[in-house]
Structure 1
């Protein structure tokens, strides 16, 4: 156990500057717009991210720790309004009653007793639905790393824990994938006890159609952040990141990187058939782009951002985190019959948070966008980027366009299509950004057709939006 007295939150880089949490919940209408919002954009952009309600105790590990806060920008008739709300779990409500943090960060193992939080919450881990936000079967879900989501109202009020009518009591991870053809949502979940890894499929009506099914051949708990989905397979990349509870109890890292074990890729047939495996040298990925089957030979094409290793926690005495080396856009071609993987680096730029037009998931894609490092600015923290980069992949050729954001630190780009158009052809990329000179925050709208020209509209957000994680565009239903 890490004693609370040994932890100094003022020395944690991801609790300062552009990442520093905000505590005020704000409603604002008729936001100031520079440029002109496209008339085609009618809906809401939502983004979730770590935002501790109170000063953390024990430890703080970005991007996994922190309470969830969802920020929303509603667009209609070229006008914009803003609202932000905490995801109020029972643990947060108990802390609000106490007026301080009661649970420590993941690495500290500080769990309050019954005298502080009552019998139901005593000695339990705190839910952290702070990573992503998606909508499926009419349910708006704030997602955690591997736990039950919390359901939110359209106005971002917390409605409670979502177990899909008790069918998935262990929860899901933060990156489910929705098949745009069938409307099904594929999910997975990892745990510290057997079964260590399960997957499931939820129908477009919210009813469980398959699972939860254990993935055979998993002998110990591993961390898996994201997945990919093809028309035939659930694709899971099992990097050698193993949970080490004994180390965590003695103040060390709760995830051990063991590169000698290599990385394994599971191809799980969506029809419930036997799992296929492909083995490779060790690498880590936080996020996939998309995956699909080659129609000629059945090989699986997986695009993702590759890291050489997983590194969590501070890397220097001043609390500044370290990154585990250079990471760039990569393509893996997986041969199910041979159990082999062939990887190609598509671009050497330092990038992360990749997205495509979600209407193209499970099938071939050409265009994607990422947050990127322009190379012009020093001192950016891990998870901080100062440019947006768009790729056009055709065969083996890769063309890139970049927009350098100047003094702005930008987040994940999310695609908002023009209604009635085909996948990826016409639309806008949306993201939040924060100015490093004055900490003002903006909502940016970039045209997909001429990405390098930069935003056609900048919406001034009345409060700072901490740099965070993942979001979604939900068009207004006609």
Structure 2
């Protein structure tokens, strides 16, 4: 017999992950230190934040309503605003005053008497993972579903289907080519075609509609992608959807390591997909990819995990079991499109996640990368929680450095790069991240200098509400 769901026993509904319900506006935020005057724009971060107490189940990081937090910086001053991403399902729940949809694993779907015919027996949209801006559209992104468009002040404008050309939606991790302005996306589905890719032009028009990725004949979960001049790079780990099991009280995702992991190189010109395969591993997030001009191979940097473990979430100890140490950490894969082979090299075995680069280097060799890290100094960190930031310099086939800033009593999130306007060197700018103090649950926006990030923040902006830990965000300069 399946035990009753008790949300008070779910780690990611408590402590520093616990949802907040207040929507707040605040100006002239308290600043410790001095905000750099070249920071002129807004830092946004989306993340799982249930509007009401979940029912049935709760699976971090996929479940939960979206809430976008924004900190606007200009002339050394800061203001804050947060807003829920108001989907039709959330609006129905607000009308009812409680949750109507269960978590993904529960398969609880409300009927027409509760939500009307248009929403009855449908899955709840979950645009709670990422937020990006492209072609003037600000989009809150779900795992693989239609995004929701937001206004400049984060109010929800409605679903975005790109003039009806992408009705099934897109990934939570698109990649924007900084040279062409194109946004490459993928979408996976439970029914054929199980995996498609598309391209959206810099004007927002769909240049290539949903195109099936040949060679995918079962539904698989794929969280992230990468982009090069020539290819979309998709990593298909052996995480397969099993709806029959879910309907009978089992897990809706099955890890089948005997199938191995495959990497698909999807030519941006529409040519045949190139495949390479290796033993099973999982990745949540890629760092970046690029074409090696010397030999035509594709270089892919990412954070590798030995297996998918959704219950505790990314960074869980379950994903770092004894004997798996050499299969975890910052990793480089080199894929030969002609031979269909790949080699993998571990760059660092520190426990890290949420990698970011200067987004102006997407698809090209990157010099710097940053990650959230577990220092190993503290016992009792929640799964997916990090107490340090770490930086690397790349080159000569590997990485150097591993510079670390120990955040002390702060739990930190994904670092995002804000470049100095008019520069092209990723060493000039600042890294931004939200952090929450484990002693009093206060939240801060940290600003760390790219020239010497391990020296710690030059400014800390006090956020008027606690910002729940996780997930992804972006820096949007005013000049754009």
Give TM class, smaller chain. Answer: over 0.9
Correspondence for 2:318 among 319, 323, 326: 323
Q: CA deviation at 1:379?
A: 1.2
Correspondence for 1:195 among 193, 199, 211: 193
Q: Could you tell me how far apart the structure 2 residues matched to 1:331 and 1:85 are?
A: 37
Match of 1:429 in 2: 431
Match of 1:410 in 2: 412
Match of 1:447 in 2: 449
Q: Normalising by structure 2, what TM-score?
A: 0.97
Q: CA deviation at 1:217?
A: 1.0
Is this contact kept in 1: 2:47–2:129, CA < 8 A? yes
- Matches of residues 46-125 of structure 1 in structure 2 within 5 Å? 46-125=44-123
Q: Could you tell me how far apart the structure 1 residues matched to 2:405 and 2:318 are?
A: 24
Task: Report SS of the residue matched to 1:438.
Answer: coil
Task: Report SS of the residue matched to 1:49.
Answer: strand
Q: CA deviation at 1:417?
A: 0.0
Match of 2:23 in 1: 25
Q: Deviations over 1:405-459 (max 9, x none)?
A: 0000000000000001114130000000000111000000000000110000000
Kindly indicate whether residue 465 of structure 2 is the aligned counterpart of residue 463 of structure 1.
yes
Q: Could you tell me how far apart the structure 2 residues matched to 1:34 and 1:452 are?
A: 18
- Consecutive unaligned residues of structure 1, counting only runs of 5 or more, are none
Kindly indicate whether residue 331 of structure 2 is the aligned counterpart of residue 336 of structure 1.
no
Match of 1:385 in 2: 386
Q: CA deviation at 1:321?
A: 6.5
Any runs of at least 4 consecutive aligned residues in structure 1 with deviations exceeding 4 A, and if so which? none
Q: CA deviation at 1:323?
A: 2.7
Q: Could you tell me how far apart the structure 1 residues matched to 2:390 and 2:61 are?
A: 22
Kindly indicate whether residue 352 of structure 2 is the aligned counterpart of residue 351 of structure 1.
yes
Q: Could you tell me how far apart the structure 1 residues matched to 2:470 and 2:354 are?
A: 11
Q: CA deviation at 1:322?
A: 5.1
- Consecutive unaligned residues of structure 2, counting only runs of 5 or more, are none
Kindly indicate whether residue 362 of structure 2 is the aligned counterpart of residue 364 of structure 1.
no
Q: Deviations over 1:122-155 (max 9, x none)?
A: 0000000000000001000000000000000000
Kindly indicate whether residue 144 of structure 2 is the aligned counterpart of residue 135 of structure 1.
no
Q: Could you tell me how far apart the structure 2 residues matched to 1:46 and 1:467 are?
A: 14
- Matches of residues 153-168 of structure 1 in structure 2 within 5 Å? 153-168=151-166
Task: Report SS of the residue matched to 1:95.
Answer: helix
Q: Could you tell me how far apart the structure 1 residues matched to 2:243 and 2:285 are?
A: 25
Match of 1:308 in 2: 306
Q: Could you tell me how far apart the structure 2 residues matched to 1:101 and 1:468 are?
A: 22
Q: Could you tell me how far apart the structure 1 residues matched to 2:401 and 2:442 are?
A: 32
Is this contact kept in 1: 2:392–2:399, CA < 8 A? no
Task: Report SS of the residue matched to 1:92.
Answer: helix
Q: Deviations over 1:94-139 (max 9, x none)?
A: 0000000000000000000000000000000000000000000100
Is this contact kept in 2: 1:59–1:108, CA < 8 A? yes
Q: CA deviation at 1:296?
A: 1.0
Kindly indicate whether residue 187 of structure 2 is the aligned counterpart of residue 186 of structure 1.
no
Correspondence for 2:230 among 229, 232, 242: 232
Distance change (3 Å), C-alpha of 1:41 and 1:298: same
Q: CA deviation at 1:251?
A: 1.7
Is this contact kept in 1: 2:283–2:303, CA < 8 A? yes
Is this contact kept in 1: 2:171–2:187, CA < 8 A? yes
Match of 1:282 in 2: 280
Task: Report SS of the residue matched to 1:346.
Answer: strand
Is this contact kept in 1: 2:60–2:312, CA < 8 A? no
Q: Could you tell me how far apart the structure 2 residues matched to 1:314 and 1:182 are?
A: 39
Kindly indicate whether residue 218 of structure 2 is the aligned counterpart of residue 220 of structure 1.
yes
Q: Could you tell me how far apart the structure 1 residues matched to 2:318 and 2:289 are?
A: 26
Q: Deviations over 1:254-305 (max 9, x none)?
A: 1100000000000000000000000111000000000001101100000000
Q: CA deviation at 1:312?
A: 1.5
Q: Normalising by structure 1, what TM-score?
A: 0.97
Match of 1:209 in 2: 207
Cα-Cα RMSD: 1.3
Distance change (3 Å), C-alpha of 1:322 and 1:374: closer
